[in-house]
Chain A
Amino acid sequence: MITYILRRLLVAIPTILILIVLSFMLMFAAPGGPFNSDKPLPAAVLANIEARYGLDQPYVVQIFNYVKNIVLHFDFGPSFKYRDQTVSGLIAQGFPVTLTYGSWAFAVSTVLGVAIGTVAAIRHNTWLDYLAVGSAIGASVLPNFVLSPILVLVFTIWLGWLPAGGWSNGGWEVVVMPVIALATTYVASIARIMRSSMLEVLGSGFIRTARAKGLPMSRIIWRHAMKPAMLPVLSYLGPAFVGMITGSVVIDIYFSTGGIGQYFVNSALNRDYAVIMGVTILVGVLTILFNLLVDILYAWIDPKIRY
């Protein structure tokens, strides 16, 4: 097990480095520097600014310093546009917000998805099953950016129950709509995966044995069927994580929640390379670490896996 984790780490670290170097290379290859504007700066001023941001160094030195600062000090350098802000500072402001509604959405979609999928599988071919499958198909065409305006229209404008956005320290009223918008498609996907894997497990021999022993259905589901049926869901959690962290950009923009997505898009519109790269790398690292976690969990739960 330890060797498996170590081996996976050995793959994860170069992946992160590749991501950093790749985004750096993109920046060097891009036409025009971050300080090019319609009114060209005097050469001396430009040189001064570039020295301040370390852009006058050779590329290799720049990359090395960048990686070194991230690893040692969690420092992504200064923002190119907000003169008095560092990228790490912006991330520190936005990340707790993203984390709050993100983890809610993640928990809701996992729990609800597993529950709906299990119920649909137990009540296979009844109206409950059809309802679950039907809503799952319906939900899969409602990505976050489609659902968000519909939610605001219904809950804010028609019903007047919830505020259309803002954060106000994360009270429940501002969290509800972001969580629904973010979680819905994943509830649907997880429910679908769970349903089919549960159906498969329920049809297998060891469940028949458990039934023959006369165990009650609830005990069979909880003690015998749940664990093996969860495995496909577990391996879907990696992609779901990526999807939600990506979706958070839409949430931050549409609901003005103030998470990192807002900085990301604003920097993208302002060509603030430092912030975009910082966020991209942060998200990449989180994703890779999360996938690693899922893989380890998977290896730990599934006795059949060889590592």
Chain B
Amino acid sequence: MAVTDPTATPLAAPARPDKGRSLWTDARRRFFRNKAAVVALVVLVLIALFAFFGGLVARYDRETVDFTLMGVNARNGGPSLATGHYFGVDDSGRDLYARTVQGTRLSLMIGLVGSLVAVLVGTLYGAISGYIGGRTDGVMMRIVDILLSIPFMFVLILMLVMFGRSLLMLFIGIGLTSWLGMARIARGQTLSIKNKEFVEAAIATGVKRSAIILRHVVPNLLGVVIVYATLLIPDMIIYESFISFLGLGVQEPNTSLGALISQGARQILSGGEAAWQLWFPLGFFVATLFAFYFVGDGLRDALDPKDR
């Protein structure tokens, strides 16, 4: 386990206290041995840099229509260094590079927020449910089961329609659903943790129940939670992109990868002359998802080796 024995006497170099190999150092070593995961991590960092600093090299902003390309978008609006539209322009002549930067940023943020809510709410919910057990556990998990059996995409669209399509609503809607799976996983892990000796010891020394959950159970859930949270990010990105693809998600002038893919896809339907409008956002979308899957997979091997 994560506990290193502090009384173990180091054999050599007594001047420098020997650092035990904690679970985390061990995991880091295992992660960096996994080449696919490391490459994916590098790709992910590059995408994040692009999303947050790519705007600095854009020659246009995401809203300005380039009137010099009026009417000749499909022929002359393609990606080119000469015009400064590195990724070409979109249907209405706006710079696709600037829009892709912003879309990628929004998609990443959606993924992170959804995942963060899952970590906070789901972990606590699952840990409490699993630790208390009994009838409380039954009721709490039945609620999760019921919520999971509702097709949330439809309910979320219902909410977006009724309360207006705003970014906030999108974040709320995605946060509402993302924690359910996490709650189940956290509960399952808690069930095995709560019978461990260190929890017994905590109970014996009279630690309060809430403190046991927060200080003893939750930290030991972290490995699994991190793995699952990473794997949840691409799901959340897909989720948001799906809604934006339908035109029900982010609103102009904001955009997301899903909204951009949607525009590119419509371009394909009308003949596909301006196929770059599909390829650039789609490339970033696919690369982001791939990177998250591989990083998540690497983390799973590193943090949760038994689950193979």
Contact = CB atoms under 8 A, between A and B. Distances in A.
A276 B161 CA distance: 9
Range for the number of chain B residues in contact with chain A? 35 or more
Interface string A251-275: 0011000000000110011010100
Contacts of A265: 246-248
Interface string A231-269: 000000010001001100110011000000000110011
A154 B151 CA distance: 32
Q: Tell me whether chain B's interface is mostly helix, strand or loop, or mixed.
A: helix
A152 interface: yes
A153 B242 contact: no
Nearest to A267: B161
A99 interface: no
A19 interface: yes
User: Interface SS of chain A: helix, strand, loop or mixed?
Assistant: helix
Interface in A153-181: 153, 157, 164-165
A146 interface: yes
B151 A245 contact: yes
How many residues of A sit at the interface, in one of the four size bands? 35 or more
A269 B264 CA distance: 20
B153 A246 contact: yes
Interface in A283-307: 283-284, 287-288, 291
Nearest to A253: B246
Contacts of B154: 246, 264, 276, 279-280, 283-284
Interface stretch (B62-70, B84-92, B114-122, B269-277): B269-277
B131 interface: no
Nearest to B258: A145
B150 interface: yes
A42 interface: no
Contacts of A164: 269
Contacts of B282: 146, 149-150
Q: Considering the complex of A and B, which 6 residue pairs feature the smallest CB-CB distances, nearest first?
A: A30-B162, A149-B265, A141-B289, A280-B154, A145-B245, A246-B153
Interface of A: 11, 15, 18-19, 22-23, 26-27, 29-31, 137, 140-143, 145-146, 148-150, 152-153, 157, 164-165, 238, 242, 245-246, 249-250, 253-254, 264-265, 268-269, 271, 273, 276-277, 279-280, 283-284, 287-288, 291
